[in-house]
Amino acid sequence: TRFDLTIRNGRISNADGTFHADIGVRNGVIVEIAPNLAAGTQDVDAAGRWVLPGGIDSHCHIEQLSGMGLMCADDFFSGTVSAAFGGTTTILSFAAQHRADNIPEVVAAYGKLAREKAVIDYGFHLILANPDETALREHLPQVIRDGITSLKVYMTYDKLKLDDYQLLEVMSVAGEEGALVMMHAENHDMIRWIAHRLLERGHVAPKFHAVAHDTLAECEATNRAIALARLADVPVLIVHVAGRETVEVIRNARRLGAAVYAESCPQYLFLEASDIDLPGMEGAKFCCSPPPRDADSQEAVWAGLKDGTLGVYSSDHAPYRFDASGKLPKGDATTFKEMANGVPGIELRLPLLFSEGVMNGRLSIEEFVALTSTNHARMYGLAPRKGAIAVGADADVVLWNPERSVTVGTAMLHDNVGYTPYEGRVLQGWPEMVFSRGRCVVADNTLQVERGSGQYIARGRPDPLTQRPTASPEQGRFSELVGLKRDH
Ligand code: DUC
Ligand code: ZN
Ligand code: ZN
Ligand code: ZN
Protein backbone atom coordinates (compact mmCIF):
# COMPACT_ATOMS: atom_id res chain seq x y z
CA THR A 1 0.00 0.00 0.00
CA ARG A 2 0.90 3.58 -0.62
CA PHE A 3 2.84 5.69 1.89
CA ASP A 4 1.29 8.85 3.28
CA LEU A 5 4.69 10.45 2.83
CA THR A 6 7.84 9.42 1.03
CA ILE A 7 11.05 11.40 1.50
CA ARG A 8 13.41 10.26 -1.23
CA ASN A 9 17.07 10.63 -2.22
CA GLY A 10 18.16 12.11 1.09
CA ARG A 11 21.46 11.77 2.89
CA ILE A 12 20.21 10.48 6.25
CA SER A 13 22.22 10.86 9.45
CA ASN A 14 21.51 9.33 12.83
CA ALA A 15 23.76 9.47 15.89
CA ASP A 16 25.32 6.18 14.77
CA GLY A 17 25.90 6.75 11.08
CA THR A 18 25.05 8.22 7.70
CA PHE A 19 23.51 6.54 4.64
CA HIS A 20 21.47 7.25 1.53
CA ALA A 21 17.88 5.94 1.39
CA ASP A 22 14.21 6.82 1.04
CA ILE A 23 11.90 7.08 4.05
CA GLY A 24 8.33 5.74 3.91
CA VAL A 25 5.80 7.06 6.41
CA ARG A 26 2.34 5.83 7.31
CA ASN A 27 0.09 7.19 10.08
CA GLY A 28 2.85 9.43 11.35
CA VAL A 29 5.33 6.60 11.83
CA ILE A 30 8.36 5.59 9.74
CA VAL A 31 7.49 2.17 8.33
CA GLU A 32 10.25 1.61 5.79
CA ILE A 33 13.75 2.87 5.08
CA ALA A 34 15.22 1.58 1.80
CA PRO A 35 16.25 2.72 -1.68
CA ASN A 36 13.60 3.31 -4.36
CA LEU A 37 10.45 3.23 -2.22
CA ALA A 38 6.99 3.51 -3.79
CA ALA A 39 5.32 6.88 -4.17
CA GLY A 40 3.78 8.65 -1.23
CA THR A 41 0.61 10.73 -1.20
CA GLN A 42 3.08 13.46 -0.35
CA ASP A 43 6.31 12.76 -2.22
CA VAL A 44 9.32 14.88 -1.29
CA ASP A 45 12.61 14.96 -3.15
CA ALA A 46 15.41 15.45 -0.63
CA ALA A 47 18.29 15.34 -3.12
CA GLY A 48 21.06 17.63 -1.91
CA ARG A 49 19.52 17.81 1.56
CA TRP A 50 20.76 16.37 4.82
CA VAL A 51 17.90 14.44 6.39
CA LEU A 52 18.11 14.47 10.19
CA PRO A 53 15.93 13.44 13.13
CA GLY A 54 13.89 16.40 14.35
CA GLY A 55 15.58 18.38 17.07
CA ILE A 56 14.54 17.83 20.66
CA ASP A 57 14.86 20.86 22.91
CA SER A 58 14.76 19.49 26.43
CA HIS A 59 15.16 22.82 28.17
CA CYS A 60 12.98 25.78 27.31
CA HIS A 61 10.69 28.08 29.26
CA ILE A 62 7.35 28.58 27.54
CA GLU A 63 4.35 30.48 28.91
CA GLN A 64 5.96 30.15 32.31
CA LEU A 65 5.59 32.41 35.30
CA SER A 66 9.10 32.95 36.67
CA GLY A 67 10.04 32.83 40.34
CA MET A 68 10.06 36.65 40.21
CA GLY A 69 6.45 36.57 38.94
CA LEU A 70 7.24 37.57 35.34
CA MET A 71 5.44 35.95 32.41
CA CYS A 72 7.54 34.66 29.51
CA ALA A 73 7.10 36.46 26.20
CA ASP A 74 6.34 33.21 24.32
CA ASP A 75 3.21 31.16 24.71
CA PHE A 76 2.89 27.59 23.45
CA PHE A 77 1.98 28.85 19.99
CA SER A 78 4.80 31.33 19.34
CA GLY A 79 7.24 29.16 21.28
CA THR A 80 6.57 25.99 19.33
CA VAL A 81 6.30 27.78 15.97
CA SER A 82 9.70 29.33 16.63
CA ALA A 83 11.09 25.92 17.61
CA ALA A 84 9.74 24.31 14.44
CA PHE A 85 11.21 26.96 12.13
CA GLY A 86 14.58 26.18 13.69
CA GLY A 87 14.33 22.42 13.04
CA THR A 88 13.00 21.31 16.44
CA THR A 89 10.06 18.90 16.53
CA THR A 90 9.76 18.14 20.26
CA ILE A 91 10.15 20.41 23.26
CA LEU A 92 10.24 19.75 26.96
CA SER A 93 9.29 22.85 28.92
CA PHE A 94 8.44 23.35 32.56
CA ALA A 95 5.37 22.97 34.70
CA ALA A 96 6.57 25.36 37.38
CA GLN A 97 5.38 25.03 40.95
CA HIS A 98 5.69 28.12 43.14
CA ARG A 99 5.89 27.44 46.85
CA ALA A 100 2.18 27.84 47.57
CA ASP A 101 1.00 25.90 44.51
CA ASN A 102 -0.69 22.51 44.43
CA ILE A 103 1.34 20.34 42.04
CA PRO A 104 -1.48 18.49 40.23
CA GLU A 105 -3.17 21.86 39.57
CA VAL A 106 0.06 23.31 38.17
CA VAL A 107 0.54 20.33 35.86
CA ALA A 108 -3.06 20.45 34.67
CA ALA A 109 -2.83 24.18 33.99
CA TYR A 110 0.31 23.93 31.85
CA GLY A 111 -1.13 20.90 30.06
CA LYS A 112 -4.19 22.86 29.04
CA LEU A 113 -2.17 25.84 27.77
CA ALA A 114 0.00 23.62 25.59
CA ARG A 115 -2.87 21.45 24.32
CA GLU A 116 -4.63 24.48 22.85
CA LYS A 117 -1.60 26.05 21.21
CA ALA A 118 1.40 23.79 20.54
CA VAL A 119 2.17 22.97 16.88
CA ILE A 120 4.81 20.31 17.66
CA ASP A 121 5.01 17.55 20.27
CA TYR A 122 5.77 18.48 23.84
CA GLY A 123 6.28 17.23 27.34
CA PHE A 124 7.04 18.75 30.71
CA HIS A 125 9.51 18.68 33.54
CA LEU A 126 8.18 19.58 36.96
CA ILE A 127 9.85 22.47 38.79
CA LEU A 128 9.64 21.54 42.43
CA ALA A 129 9.81 24.51 44.82
CA ASN A 130 8.08 23.01 47.84
CA PRO A 131 9.09 19.38 48.43
CA ASP A 132 6.83 18.64 51.37
CA GLU A 133 5.67 15.13 52.28
CA THR A 134 2.58 15.31 50.06
CA ALA A 135 4.63 16.54 47.12
CA LEU A 136 7.19 13.79 47.48
CA ARG A 137 5.00 10.84 48.49
CA GLU A 138 1.81 11.54 46.51
CA HIS A 139 2.30 14.15 43.83
CA LEU A 140 5.64 13.05 42.47
CA PRO A 141 4.55 9.43 41.85
CA GLN A 142 1.35 10.78 40.32
CA VAL A 143 3.08 13.11 37.85
CA ILE A 144 5.50 10.34 36.92
CA ARG A 145 2.52 8.12 36.06
CA ASP A 146 1.30 10.99 33.85
CA GLY A 147 4.58 10.89 31.93
CA ILE A 148 6.53 13.65 33.64
CA THR A 149 9.65 11.69 34.46
CA SER A 150 12.06 14.49 35.34
CA LEU A 151 12.08 17.44 37.69
CA LYS A 152 14.17 20.56 38.09
CA VAL A 153 15.29 21.92 41.42
CA TYR A 154 17.25 25.07 42.28
CA MET A 155 20.16 25.79 44.58
CA THR A 156 19.60 29.56 44.21
CA TYR A 157 16.80 32.18 43.89
CA ASP A 158 14.96 33.10 47.09
CA LYS A 159 11.62 31.80 45.83
CA LEU A 160 12.87 28.48 44.45
CA LYS A 161 15.97 27.53 46.40
CA LEU A 162 16.08 24.23 48.28
CA ASP A 163 18.61 23.57 51.00
CA ASP A 164 20.93 20.58 50.94
CA TYR A 165 18.67 18.54 53.24
CA GLN A 166 15.70 19.14 50.95
CA LEU A 167 17.80 18.27 47.89
CA LEU A 168 18.74 14.95 49.47
CA GLU A 169 15.07 14.22 50.18
CA VAL A 170 14.05 15.09 46.62
CA MET A 171 16.87 13.05 45.14
CA SER A 172 16.23 9.94 47.16
CA VAL A 173 12.50 9.94 46.37
CA ALA A 174 13.09 10.75 42.70
CA GLY A 175 15.50 7.81 42.54
CA GLU A 176 12.94 5.47 44.05
CA GLU A 177 10.10 6.67 41.88
CA GLY A 178 12.07 6.79 38.64
CA ALA A 179 12.47 10.49 37.88
CA LEU A 180 15.63 12.25 36.75
CA VAL A 181 16.71 15.26 38.84
CA MET A 182 17.88 18.32 36.88
CA MET A 183 19.89 20.78 38.92
CA HIS A 184 20.28 24.54 38.65
CA ALA A 185 23.67 24.61 40.35
CA GLU A 186 24.81 28.01 41.58
CA ASN A 187 25.83 28.90 45.14
CA HIS A 188 23.10 31.19 46.45
CA ASP A 189 25.08 32.92 49.20
CA MET A 190 28.14 33.57 47.04
CA ILE A 191 25.94 35.35 44.49
CA ARG A 192 24.02 37.19 47.19
CA TRP A 193 27.22 38.35 48.88
CA ILE A 194 28.88 39.63 45.68
CA ALA A 195 25.65 41.26 44.51
CA HIS A 196 25.12 43.01 47.84
CA ARG A 197 28.61 44.49 47.79
CA LEU A 198 28.28 45.53 44.13
CA LEU A 199 24.98 47.31 44.73
CA GLU A 200 26.35 49.02 47.86
CA ARG A 201 29.08 50.51 45.69
CA GLY A 202 26.70 51.64 42.99
CA HIS A 203 27.64 48.93 40.48
CA VAL A 204 24.16 48.40 39.09
CA ALA A 205 24.63 48.10 35.28
CA PRO A 206 23.67 44.87 33.47
CA LYS A 207 27.30 43.76 33.14
CA PHE A 208 27.50 43.30 36.91
CA HIS A 209 25.09 40.38 36.59
CA ALA A 210 28.01 38.38 35.22
CA VAL A 211 30.25 39.54 38.06
CA ALA A 212 27.72 38.49 40.71
CA HIS A 213 27.18 35.06 39.13
CA ASP A 214 30.86 34.18 39.34
CA THR A 215 32.14 30.95 37.87
CA LEU A 216 33.13 29.78 41.37
CA ALA A 217 29.47 29.91 42.43
CA GLU A 218 28.64 27.57 39.55
CA CYS A 219 31.57 25.29 40.17
CA GLU A 220 31.04 24.99 43.93
CA ALA A 221 27.35 24.22 43.59
CA THR A 222 27.99 21.66 40.86
CA ASN A 223 30.50 19.90 43.06
CA ARG A 224 28.01 19.90 45.92
CA ALA A 225 25.14 18.70 43.75
CA ILE A 226 27.26 15.79 42.59
CA ALA A 227 28.23 14.88 46.14
CA LEU A 228 24.59 15.03 47.25
CA ALA A 229 23.52 12.83 44.34
CA ARG A 230 26.23 10.31 45.15
CA LEU A 231 25.14 10.25 48.78
CA ALA A 232 21.54 9.67 47.71
CA ASP A 233 22.85 7.15 45.15
CA VAL A 234 20.91 8.65 42.24
CA PRO A 235 21.75 10.12 38.85
CA VAL A 236 21.79 13.90 38.48
CA LEU A 237 21.80 16.16 35.44
CA ILE A 238 23.49 19.56 35.73
CA VAL A 239 21.71 22.02 33.43
CA HIS A 240 23.15 25.03 31.60
CA VAL A 241 26.87 24.44 32.21
CA ALA A 242 28.83 27.61 31.45
CA GLY A 243 32.30 27.62 33.00
CA ARG A 244 35.47 25.68 32.29
CA GLU A 245 35.94 24.55 35.90
CA THR A 246 32.38 23.22 35.98
CA VAL A 247 33.02 21.14 32.86
CA GLU A 248 36.13 19.75 34.55
CA VAL A 249 34.30 18.93 37.79
CA ILE A 250 31.70 16.99 35.80
CA ARG A 251 34.26 15.21 33.65
CA ASN A 252 36.17 14.16 36.73
CA ALA A 253 33.07 12.86 38.52
CA ARG A 254 32.10 10.85 35.44
CA ARG A 255 35.58 9.40 35.31
CA LEU A 256 35.12 8.22 38.88
CA GLY A 257 31.97 6.41 37.77
CA ALA A 258 29.38 8.82 39.17
CA ALA A 259 26.03 8.94 37.35
CA VAL A 260 26.43 12.60 36.45
CA TYR A 261 25.02 14.05 33.24
CA ALA A 262 25.15 17.58 31.94
CA GLU A 263 23.76 20.05 29.47
CA SER A 264 25.03 23.17 27.80
CA CYS A 265 23.42 25.79 25.57
CA PRO A 266 24.18 28.12 22.65
CA GLN A 267 24.81 31.12 24.90
CA TYR A 268 27.84 29.35 26.41
CA LEU A 269 29.33 28.62 22.98
CA PHE A 270 28.52 31.85 21.18
CA LEU A 271 28.32 34.62 23.80
CA GLU A 272 30.77 36.00 26.35
CA ALA A 273 30.45 38.08 29.52
CA SER A 274 32.07 40.93 27.60
CA ASP A 275 29.00 41.00 25.31
CA ILE A 276 27.03 42.27 28.30
CA ASP A 277 29.30 45.33 28.57
CA LEU A 278 27.35 47.58 26.22
CA PRO A 279 26.25 51.20 26.55
CA GLY A 280 23.10 51.90 28.58
CA MET A 281 20.85 48.92 29.25
CA GLU A 282 21.64 47.05 26.00
CA GLY A 283 23.70 44.47 27.89
CA ALA A 284 20.53 43.20 29.56
CA LYS A 285 19.75 41.42 26.30
CA PHE A 286 22.63 39.03 27.00
CA CYS A 287 21.89 38.34 30.67
CA CYS A 288 21.04 34.81 31.68
CA SER A 289 21.95 32.58 34.61
CA PRO A 290 24.57 31.34 34.70
CA PRO A 291 25.97 34.11 32.50
CA PRO A 292 28.13 33.51 29.43
CA ARG A 293 31.79 33.46 30.48
CA ASP A 294 34.89 33.91 28.28
CA ALA A 295 36.65 32.41 25.25
CA ASP A 296 38.42 29.86 27.41
CA SER A 297 35.14 28.57 28.85
CA GLN A 298 33.62 28.48 25.36
CA GLU A 299 36.46 26.18 24.32
CA ALA A 300 35.85 24.01 27.39
CA VAL A 301 32.15 23.71 26.51
CA TRP A 302 33.00 22.72 22.93
CA ALA A 303 35.39 20.09 24.28
CA GLY A 304 32.78 18.85 26.77
CA LEU A 305 30.17 18.47 24.03
CA LYS A 306 32.70 16.65 21.87
CA ASP A 307 33.86 14.13 24.51
CA GLY A 308 30.46 13.37 26.03
CA THR A 309 30.94 15.22 29.33
CA LEU A 310 28.07 17.45 28.19
CA GLY A 311 25.58 15.05 26.63
CA VAL A 312 22.73 17.37 25.71
CA TYR A 313 22.67 20.74 23.99
CA SER A 314 19.43 22.65 24.70
CA SER A 315 18.34 26.25 24.23
CA ASP A 316 17.31 27.25 27.76
CA HIS A 317 15.05 29.60 25.80
CA ALA A 318 13.88 32.05 28.47
CA PRO A 319 12.08 34.71 26.47
CA TYR A 320 11.75 38.18 27.94
CA ARG A 321 11.17 41.37 25.99
CA PHE A 322 13.52 44.32 26.24
CA ASP A 323 10.94 46.42 28.05
CA ALA A 324 9.09 46.79 31.36
CA SER A 325 7.44 43.36 30.96
CA GLY A 326 10.80 41.56 31.13
CA LYS A 327 14.33 42.84 31.06
CA LEU A 328 13.64 46.38 32.27
CA PRO A 329 10.94 46.46 34.98
CA LYS A 330 12.18 49.93 36.05
CA GLY A 331 13.31 51.17 32.64
CA ASP A 332 16.81 52.65 32.62
CA ALA A 333 16.81 52.59 36.44
CA THR A 334 16.66 48.77 36.51
CA THR A 335 19.57 47.24 38.42
CA PHE A 336 21.16 43.96 37.34
CA LYS A 337 19.34 42.28 40.24
CA GLU A 338 15.91 43.31 38.89
CA MET A 339 16.20 42.24 35.22
CA ALA A 340 14.56 39.04 34.08
CA ASN A 341 17.19 36.33 33.62
CA GLY A 342 17.30 34.54 30.30
CA VAL A 343 18.02 34.74 26.59
CA PRO A 344 16.02 33.52 23.59
CA GLY A 345 17.44 30.65 21.52
CA ILE A 346 14.74 28.11 20.68
CA GLU A 347 14.86 28.91 16.94
CA LEU A 348 18.60 29.46 16.44
CA ARG A 349 19.84 26.64 18.70
CA LEU A 350 20.27 24.18 15.84
CA PRO A 351 21.29 26.56 13.03
CA LEU A 352 24.05 27.99 15.27
CA LEU A 353 25.46 24.55 16.10
CA PHE A 354 25.04 23.28 12.55
CA SER A 355 26.95 26.24 11.13
CA GLU A 356 29.64 26.71 13.77
CA GLY A 357 29.93 23.05 14.75
CA VAL A 358 29.31 20.91 11.68
CA MET A 359 30.12 23.29 8.83
CA ASN A 360 33.24 24.56 10.58
CA GLY A 361 34.43 21.02 11.27
CA ARG A 362 34.23 21.00 15.07
CA LEU A 363 31.57 18.28 15.19
CA SER A 364 30.60 15.44 12.90
CA ILE A 365 27.03 15.39 11.66
CA GLU A 366 26.47 12.27 13.82
CA GLU A 367 27.70 14.14 16.91
CA PHE A 368 25.35 16.98 15.99
CA VAL A 369 22.39 14.57 15.85
CA ALA A 370 23.37 12.99 19.17
CA LEU A 371 23.69 16.36 20.92
CA THR A 372 20.53 17.86 19.50
CA SER A 373 18.15 14.91 19.38
CA THR A 374 19.18 11.33 20.19
CA ASN A 375 20.76 11.99 23.58
CA HIS A 376 17.74 14.06 24.67
CA ALA A 377 15.42 11.19 23.74
CA ARG A 378 17.42 8.74 25.83
CA MET A 379 18.05 11.09 28.72
CA TYR A 380 14.38 11.94 29.14
CA GLY A 381 12.49 8.77 28.26
CA LEU A 382 11.41 9.71 24.72
CA ALA A 383 13.30 6.89 23.01
CA PRO A 384 12.74 4.88 20.84
CA ARG A 385 9.76 6.92 19.67
CA LYS A 386 11.87 10.07 19.20
CA GLY A 387 15.53 10.81 18.48
CA ALA A 388 16.31 8.68 15.41
CA ILE A 389 15.24 8.05 11.86
CA ALA A 390 14.29 4.40 12.30
CA VAL A 391 11.47 2.03 11.44
CA GLY A 392 8.85 2.33 14.18
CA ALA A 393 9.89 5.84 15.24
CA ASP A 394 7.71 8.91 14.81
CA ALA A 395 8.35 10.58 11.46
CA ASP A 396 9.99 13.65 13.01
CA VAL A 397 12.31 14.55 10.18
CA VAL A 398 14.09 17.72 9.12
CA LEU A 399 15.56 18.49 5.71
CA TRP A 400 18.63 20.70 6.05
CA ASN A 401 20.05 22.65 3.13
CA PRO A 402 23.81 22.87 3.74
CA GLU A 403 24.19 25.29 0.83
CA ARG A 404 21.92 27.95 2.23
CA SER A 405 23.56 30.86 4.00
CA VAL A 406 21.43 33.03 6.31
CA THR A 407 22.17 36.33 8.05
CA VAL A 408 20.46 36.33 11.43
CA GLY A 409 18.02 39.14 12.04
CA THR A 410 15.21 39.63 14.51
CA ALA A 411 12.58 40.03 11.79
CA MET A 412 13.12 36.49 10.44
CA LEU A 413 12.48 34.86 13.83
CA HIS A 414 9.11 33.60 15.02
CA ASP A 415 9.40 34.11 18.75
CA ASN A 416 7.84 37.04 20.56
CA VAL A 417 10.99 38.46 22.11
CA GLY A 418 11.77 41.33 19.74
CA TYR A 419 15.55 40.93 19.72
CA THR A 420 18.16 38.23 19.31
CA PRO A 421 21.60 38.11 20.92
CA TYR A 422 22.86 36.62 17.64
CA GLU A 423 21.87 39.56 15.38
CA GLY A 424 24.01 39.88 12.27
CA ARG A 425 25.71 36.50 12.41
CA VAL A 426 26.04 34.68 9.12
CA LEU A 427 25.09 31.02 9.40
CA GLN A 428 25.80 28.30 6.86
CA GLY A 429 23.08 25.66 6.52
CA TRP A 430 19.38 25.95 7.29
CA PRO A 431 16.46 23.62 8.17
CA GLU A 432 14.12 24.10 5.24
CA MET A 433 11.45 21.43 5.65
CA VAL A 434 10.21 20.14 8.96
CA PHE A 435 7.99 17.09 9.55
CA SER A 436 6.44 16.14 12.86
CA ARG A 437 4.75 12.70 12.98
CA GLY A 438 4.68 12.82 9.19
CA ARG A 439 2.85 16.14 9.07
CA CYS A 440 4.63 18.88 7.18
CA VAL A 441 4.96 21.65 9.78
CA VAL A 442 7.26 24.07 7.93
CA ALA A 443 7.82 24.35 4.17
CA ASP A 444 8.48 27.30 1.86
CA ASN A 445 9.26 29.37 4.95
CA THR A 446 5.60 29.05 5.95
CA LEU A 447 3.83 27.34 8.84
CA GLN A 448 1.72 24.49 7.45
CA VAL A 449 -0.26 23.37 10.52
CA GLU A 450 -2.89 24.65 12.92
CA ARG A 451 -2.39 25.73 16.50
CA GLY A 452 -3.04 22.89 18.91
CA SER A 453 -1.97 20.18 16.46
CA GLY A 454 1.04 19.14 18.57
CA GLN A 455 0.67 16.18 20.93
CA TYR A 456 1.51 15.68 24.57
CA ILE A 457 4.13 12.96 24.93
CA ALA A 458 3.90 10.93 28.12
CA ARG A 459 7.51 10.00 28.70
CA GLY A 460 8.94 6.72 29.88
CA ARG A 461 11.79 6.11 32.25
CA PRO A 462 14.96 8.12 31.56
CA ASP A 463 17.97 5.98 30.59
CA PRO A 464 20.08 7.22 33.52
CA LEU A 465 17.59 5.55 35.88
CA THR A 466 17.51 2.23 34.07
CA GLN A 467 21.24 2.04 33.50
CA ARG A 468 22.54 2.53 37.01
CA PRO A 469 25.36 0.30 38.13
CA THR A 470 23.96 -2.38 40.40
CA ALA A 471 26.47 -1.59 43.11
CA SER A 472 28.03 1.80 43.71
CA PRO A 473 30.67 2.45 46.39
CA GLU A 474 28.12 4.63 48.16
CA GLN A 475 25.69 1.74 48.39
CA GLY A 476 28.30 -0.35 50.10
CA ARG A 477 29.02 2.35 52.66
CA PHE A 478 25.56 3.29 53.84
CA SER A 479 22.66 3.05 51.40
CA GLU A 480 21.18 0.06 53.13
CA LEU A 481 21.71 1.46 56.62
CA VAL A 482 19.75 4.62 55.81
CA GLY A 483 17.03 2.78 53.90
CA LEU A 484 17.76 3.99 50.37
CA LYS A 485 15.70 1.94 47.93
CA ARG A 486 16.08 1.60 44.22
CA ASP A 487 12.95 1.27 42.18
CA HIS A 488 14.00 -1.99 40.57
N1 DUC B 1 17.65 29.12 34.89
C2 DUC B 1 17.21 28.59 33.80
O3 DUC B 1 17.19 27.39 33.69
N4 DUC B 1 16.78 29.36 32.81
C5 DUC B 1 16.77 30.75 32.84
C6 DUC B 1 17.26 31.35 34.06
C7 DUC B 1 17.71 30.41 35.09
O8 DUC B 1 18.15 30.81 36.14
ZN1 ZN C 1 2.19 29.72 40.94
ZN1 ZN D 1 18.30 27.19 35.76
ZN1 ZN E 1 16.14 27.34 32.06
d(CA 380, CA 402): 29
Ligand 1 atom with the smallest distance to the CA of 240 is 3
Query: What ipTM did this prediction achieve?
Result: 0.91
Tell which one of 72, 184, 186 to mutate to probe ligand 1, the residue whose CB is within 8 A of the most ligand atoms. 184
Residue 68 has pLDDT above 80, yes or no: no
Averaged pLDDT, 130-159: 97
pLDDT tens for each residue of 287-325: 999 999 999 999 999 999 999 999 999 999 999 999 999
Predicted confidence at residue 8, as pLDDT, reads: 98
72 close to 117: Cβ distance less than 8 angstroms: no
Euclidean distance between CA atoms 224 and 232, whole angstroms: 12
User: pLDDT tens digit string along 350-365?
Assistant: 999 999 999 999 999 9
Does the pLDDT value for residue 50 go beyond 90?
A: yes
pLDDT at position 488 over 60: no
- Please state the rounded mean pLDDT for residues 98-127: 98
| Residues 191-215: b if buried by 16+ CB within 10 A, e if exposed | beebbeebeeeebebbbbbbbbbbb
Mutate to test the pocket of ligand 1, among 316, 327, 337 (most ligand atoms within 8 A of CB): 316
Per-residue pLDDT at 410: 98
Q: Is 391 helix (H, G, I), strand (E, B) or coil?
A: coil
Cβ of residue 316 lying under 6 Å from some atom of ligand 1: yes
pLDDT recorded at residue 487? 63
pLDDT tens sequence across 11-20: 999 999 999 9
Q: Is the pLDDT of residue 191 over 80?
A: yes
User: How many Å apart are CA 140 and CA 343, to the nearest integer?
Assistant: 30
pLDDT digits (tens, 9 = 90+) for 364-407: 999 999 999 999 999 999 999 999 999 999 999 999 999 999 99
Q: Whose CA is nearest to atom 5 of ligand 1?
A: 342
Give residue 471's pLDDT: 72
pTM of the model: 0.97
Task: Provide mean pLDDT across the span 156-171.
Answer: 97
Q: 207 pLDDT exceeds 60?
A: yes
